[in-house]
Amino acid sequence: MPIRRSALAPEKPKPKIPELVKDIIRISDIVLEVLDARFIQETRNKELEEFVRNLGKKIIFVLNKKDLVDMKQKAQEIIGMDLKPYFFISARKRLGIAKLRRMIKIEAKRLKSERKRVNIGIIGYPNTGKSSLINILTGKSSAKTGADAGFTKGLQYIRLTAGIRILDTPGVLPESEYSSSDPEAIKKQSKLGGRTINTIRDPEMVVTGLMQSHAKEIEKYYGIHAGGDAEVLIENLGRKKRFLKKGGLVDEDRTAKFIIRDWQKGRIRI
Ligand SMILES: Nc1nc2c(ncn2[C@@H]2O[C@H](COP(=O)(O)OP(=O)(O)OP(=O)(O)O)[C@@H](O)[C@H]2O)c(=O)[nH]1
Ligand SMILES: [Mg+2]
């Protein structure tokens, strides 16, 4: 049964690493940390990695959404990043999946001599594509996916092959971003997809943040020349899409949210 999202519920303080995620890590034999290839360092969660390592478990780094990045540039960027082993993949475009699946099976086979069943836990920052990866690996659409952060809520098991189970987890924010109301933190979370559109009070501010770092790519995507100015972009796009309020003024809020949604859905290549 699909789990209802409680996007409108008041934000309650959450534990830093949710108990559910800790439990899944505890029963996992191998852990895959899914990172966004666009923002590798920013979506990494060192506390979570430490928790896994302290339990003596191996981490495989999965750099997802490679369809959105320039691979030549990325190959340079990750040198010396201490990500071993790592796999660049695209769950959306089905790139790099066979290689990753092979690696998982080899690791699992090694462990299977010691136990009946091998559990693979999938962890990571919200919205990096954990559930999408599971669907691609298993060839089923059993793990629910969605553009909103925090889409995966409960425990989900999916069978990979006989004796190998994959466990999905809800995305976890790093401690430094936890319940922050600082505008810079909100901009960052929205850019990384760690904050859902429903909880963004000032979408124009977020678009301003996106334009500060990626104006060229965003303007190209919409075919609008805005000279890096978020207001100009919103005004023009709102007119183009006919997102208008009474009196014919552009509905800036709606237009800004539309841009954030495209960004979080991974439609804009950078
Ligand atoms: N461009 C691109 N988008 C992707 C890729 N993989 C996933 N996405 C998109 O990223 C968004 C999040 O995907 P999910 O699989 O729900 O991410 P998740 O990590 O399970 O998210 P939470 O459960 O909320 O933490 C969706 O809009 C996906 O379509 C990819 O390889 N490329
Ligand atoms: Mg999910």
Residue 35, helix vs strand vs coil: strand
The closest alpha carbon to 116, from 65, 170, 165, belongs to 165
Ligand 2: centre distance to CA 156 (Å): 10
Same domain, 42 and 155: yes
Our measurement of the distance from residue 108's CA atom to the centroid of its chain's CA atoms, rounded to an integer in Å, reads 25
Q: Are 163 and 257 part of one and the same domain?
A: no
Residues 236 and 165 in one domain: no
pLDDT at 147: 64
Ligand 1 centroid to Cα of residue 265, in Å, is 7
Asked whether residue 184 is assigned to any structural domain, the reply reads no
Q: Are residues 112 and 208 in the same domain?
A: no
- Is there a domain that residue 159 lies in? yes
Residues 120 and 59 in one domain: yes
Check whether residue 43 and residue 131 sit in a common domain.
Answer: yes
Residues 106 and 227 in one domain: no
Mutate to test the pocket of ligand 1, among 67, 142, 145 (most ligand atoms within 8 A of CB): 145
Does 193 fall in a domain? no
Instruction: Give the pTM.
Output: 0.85
Q: Using CA positions, which residue lies closest to atom 21 of ligand 1?
A: 127
With the most atoms of ligand 1 within 8 angstroms of its CB, the residue from 132, 169, 195, 264 to mutate is: 132
Ligand of minimum distance to the alpha carbon of 261:
1
Q: DSSP assignment of 141-179, as one string?
A: --S---SSTT---S-EEEEEETTEEEEE------GGGTT
Residue 186 forms part of a structural domain: no
For ligand 1, is residue 194 a contact (CB within 6 Å)?
Answer: no
Give how many domains the chain has, as a whole number.
2
Tell whether ligand 1 has an atom less than 6 A from the beta carbon of residue 146: yes
For ligand 1, whether the C-beta of 131 sits within 6 Å is yes
* Residue of the CA atom closest to atom 32 of ligand 1: 65
Task: Specify the ligand 1 atom closest to the Cα of 64.
Answer: 31
Q: Ligand 1 center to residue 246 CA distance, Å?
A: 35
Kindly state whether residues 160 and 40 are assigned to the same domain.
yes
φ, ψ dihedrals at 209, nearest 5°: -65, -40
Helix (H) / strand (E) containing 86: strand 86-88
Residue 142 is predicted with a pLDDT of: 63
Q: What is the chain's pLDDT, residue by residue, as a tens digit (270 residues)?
A: 444 444 444 454 555 888 989 999 999 999 999 999 999 999 999 999 999 999 999 999 999 999 999 999 999 999 989 899 999 999 999 999 999 999 999 999 888 877 888 999 999 999 999 999 998 998 866 656 666 666 656 666 788 888 899 999 989 988 777 666 788 888 888 888 888 888 898 999 999 999 999 999 999 999 999 999 999 999 999 999 999 999 999 999 999 999 999 999 999 998
Residue 183 counted as domain residue: no
Whether omega before 85 lies within 30 degrees of 0, making that bond cis, reads yes
Shortest-distance atom of ligand 1 to CA 68 = 1
Q: Which domain holds residue 213?
A: 200-264
Q: Is residue 60 a contact partner of residue 32, using CB atoms and an 8 Å limit?
A: yes
Residues 158 and 209 in one domain: no
Q: 196 C-alpha to center of ligand 2: Å?
A: 13
Residue pLDDT, tens place only, 197-230: 888 989 999 999 999 999 999 999 999 999 999 9
- Measured in Å, residue 36 CA sits from the centre of ligand 1 at 9
**Residue 99 shares a structural domain with residue 133:** yes
The reply to whether 138 and 249 lie within a common domain is: no
In angstroms, what is the span from residue 64 Cα to ligand 2's centroid? Answer: 13
Considering the domain boundaries, does residue 114 fall inside one? yes
Are residues 147 and 32 both part of a single domain?
Answer: yes
| CATH code: domain of residue 98 | 3.40.50.300
Q: Classify residue 77: in a domain, yes or no.
A: yes
Q: Is 7 domain-assigned? A: no
68 Cβ inside 6 Å of ligand 1: yes
Asked whether 243 lines ligand 1 (CB < 6 A), one says no
Residue 255: predicted pLDDT: 98
